[in-house]
Chains A and B, each alone.
Chain A
Amino acid sequence: MTGSSRARGPRTLFDKIWEAHLVSETPGRASLVAIDRIFLHERTGSVALKGLKQAGRPIADTARVFCTMDHIVDTFPGRSDETRMPGGKAFITETREAALEAGIRLFDVRDPDQGIVHVISPELGIVLPGATLVCPDSHTCTQGALGALAWGIGSTEAEHALATGTLRVNRPSTLLVRFEGTLAPGVTAKDLSLALVSRHGSAGGNGCAIEYGGSAVRDMDIEARLTLCNMATEFSAMTGIVAPDEKTFAYLEGRRYAPRGELWERAVASWRRLASDEGARFDREIDVDAGGLAPMITWGTSPQHAIPVTGAVPALEASGLPRESYDRALAYMGLEPGTPLGELPIDAAFIGSCTNSRLSDLRRAAALLRGRKVAPGVRAICVPGSMHVKREAESEGLDEVFKAAGFEWREPGCSMCFFAGGESFGPRERVVSSTNRNFESRQGPETRTHIASPETVAASAVAGHIADARRLAS
């Protein structure tokens, strides 16, 4: 089906944004799609800027290109350009030089707005409803929460976007994931993401543009929607998107790069049309009873290996996995079938990352930590997603709650979601983490990662073993 034939009938939100950005269509070729915003970071953006310079190609429109330092930058208090990773400093200094030379907006190590790209872009109103945004980072789908078409690309495609203001893209298929119902207390957007991937597999949304809808999504605040969309890439999707609504507009109004005055009114009038039409057809649909979900946590080495936090390591047959994958995951994680996850002692707890490092995440974790202590022997770390989040949290005294409980309170960055900054957890250490990937060695060589909500991480840190936050709260 071509774009023009779709245009005659009811259209999905995706269709509307796609068609508004079509520069040209050539039979037998990918569509040429206009890109409104390009974000770079020091790990994969640096090499794109360098490649562009070596090819002698200028940036088409520098005003719409942004760059931050988040991946490799150190997160210890009093940080500088130095990193714990050998050679890491060069990524920072080379990115700075390239960004300054190119004349793009850079949120540098000491900038009061520095932070993780997918935290600061919404905070600063850089991502907008109906816009296209790309970044050489797989979690760019996070920003679909604002009603933008935002997706992750490689560095070569980033060079293309920088040089031409466009990308060559094959139109993806569409998938509607409808979360209906009211979330039970203690169940969060993170749990919805994990439940979806656990039911349909980590390739279940392969290549799709997902629209997240249903009453549970409409009820979510913007930060929860960012968490939900964040893990579309863990479902192998191109991106996830939520239709913008009054909450979206209220969130964006007054942010630095959002339109103002008469332009704001015009923009909002246009954004109000950004919803799937009644009767619009999706290539696939998935329904999830969100009211029936429990807090989730992973037991294995893929986000799809997720079960309710009250559950036990599944037997082979119940896991739905081929024997080799199952055995390998169990061996890596040091687990036996049938072991209740709640019996597993932990070595570390981590709250941070583009998934769960925003103010609301920190508030919910702090509410559980107030007046409590991290269990002896557990290393606990909290890394706010941005300088803005950090300042807000400190003004509310959340930093004191974390520190009094025994958490390290860090400077913003991706930090130990992975070990690009050279810092890692130890071999065979068991970590409960509010991040998005529990791959082998993701958080450190042979480190065993269990991903879950910030609530579950906080409760587990206090208990010293994997714990159900609902029991701590009650």
Chain B
Amino acid sequence: MEPFRKLTAVAAPILRANVDTDAIIPSREMKSVSKSGLADGLFAGWRYTQIGGREPNPHFVLNQPAYRGTRILLGGENFGCGSSREHAVWALAEYGIRAIIAPSFSPIFFNNCVRNGILPARLPEGAVQSIAEDVAHDPQSRPVSVDLESQAVVAHGGACWRFELDSEAKQMLLEGLDAVDLTLRQREAIERFLSRDTAERPWIYLEPTAGGDR
């Protein structure tokens, strides 16, 4: 996973509340058992003029020349709600999005972002609005900066906001860590837990299937 440290890039507003993962990537765009090949389906219902088509809808923000090269999204409350589909985050990452700034995120979407190198930064609604207004003057010449180390978002005009982020998520993003590798270093603790728990709650531990349980 690509580490995230600091990013200065074009930011695009999709400020409505409750942007759900069906909107980020509709079911029909998840065409194979794969984590890739999803960028074209990103926001398909809004981005194209027709369902299943590929003709850009000129009204959709990411299709506008002013927002070319967007790598940061400015979102509304409860961003990424709905289905747990990680395809939403894979599609965002493949498209080039590296950070999303919103007042709140759905918990599953938040975790999916962190595990794919996308920074989900929580800022109050007013701050996100201010950033969007600053950007709107000329998105290409007024990029937004996100610094993960200092947990700060800086608008081009100089206004600065700090965001909270739990230290686990911060470390994972900063170092681009693979969580499984990190956890497997604790193999001994896991083994100790299992030997104790197998005695305490034996009903949890089932026999492997021999190809039929009935």
Contact = CB atoms under 8 A, between A and B. Distances in A.
A23 interface: yes
Contact of A156 (B32, B86, B201): B86
Nearest to A420: B27
Given A160-B180, A418-B22, A63 B205 contact: yes
Contact of A63 (B77, B168, B184, B208): B208
B55 interface: no
A202 B33 contact: no
Contacts of B20: 437, 439
Interface in B62-104: 77-78, 81-86, 89, 104
Contacts of B89: 154
Given A90-B33, A138-B84, A441-B26, A30 B104 contact: no
A402 interface: no
Contacts of A130: 201
B112 A154 contact: yes
Contacts of B59: none
Contacts of A213: none
Interface in B14-73: 15-18, 20, 22-23, 26-28, 30-35, 45, 51
Interface stretch (B2-10, B130-138, B147-155, B186-194): B186-194
Contacts of B18: 202-203, 302, 304, 325, 439
B124 interface: no
Contacts of B209: 62-63, 103-105
Contact of B167 (A29, A87, A202, A325): A29
A154 B189 contact: no
Q: What class of interface size applies to chain A in its complex with B?
A: 35 or more
A131 interface: yes
A34 B183 contact: no
Contacts of A236: 78, 81, 104, 106-107
Given A156-B116, A164-B184, A441-B45, A90 B32 contact: yes
Contact of B32 (A24, A87, A256): A87
Nearest to B89: A154
B197 interface: yes
B108 interface: yes
- Chain B interface main SS type: loop
Contacts of B77: 203
B198 to A, nearest CB: 11
A20 B32 CA distance: 39
Nearest to B77: A203
A282 to B, nearest CB: 18
A472 B179 CA distance: 55
A36 B204 contact: yes
Interface residues of B, number: 61
A61 B208 CA distance: 8
Contact of A439 (B22, B104, B106, B202): B22
Interface stretch (A41-49, A218-226, A364-372, A386-394): A41-49
Nearest to A259: B203
A32 B184 CA distance: 11
Nearest to B207: A63
Given A138-B82, A263-B202, A166 B183 contact: yes
Given A34-B193, A166-B190, A328-B16, A440 B116 contact: no
B27 A419 contact: yes
A422 B30 contact: no
Contacts of A279: none
Contact of B186 (A32, A44, A57): A32
A128 interface: yes
A34 B186 CA distance: 12
Contacts of A302: 17-18
A153 B33 contact: no
A145 B81 CA distance: 22
A51 B87 CA distance: 13
26 contacts: A47-B86, A85-B28, A87-B31, A90-B32, A105-B213, A136-B84, A137-B83, A137-B84, A152-B84, A154-B85, A154-B89, A154-B108, A156-B116, A159-B180, A168-B168, A168-B179, A168-B182, A202-B81, A236-B106, A256-B213, A259-B203, A325-B18, A439-B22, A439-B23, A440-B22, A441-B23
Given A63-B209, A163-B180, 16 more contacts: A34-B197, A43-B30, A104-B209, A128-B204, A156-B86, A168-B183, A170-B168, A236-B107, A256-B214, A257-B213, A270-B201, A304-B18, A324-B15, A418-B27, A439-B82, A440-B45
The list of the 10 closest CB pairs from A to B, nearest first, reads: A259-B203, A154-B86, A154-B112, A30-B168, A203-B78, A138-B84, A63-B206, A156-B115, A28-B167, A445-B51
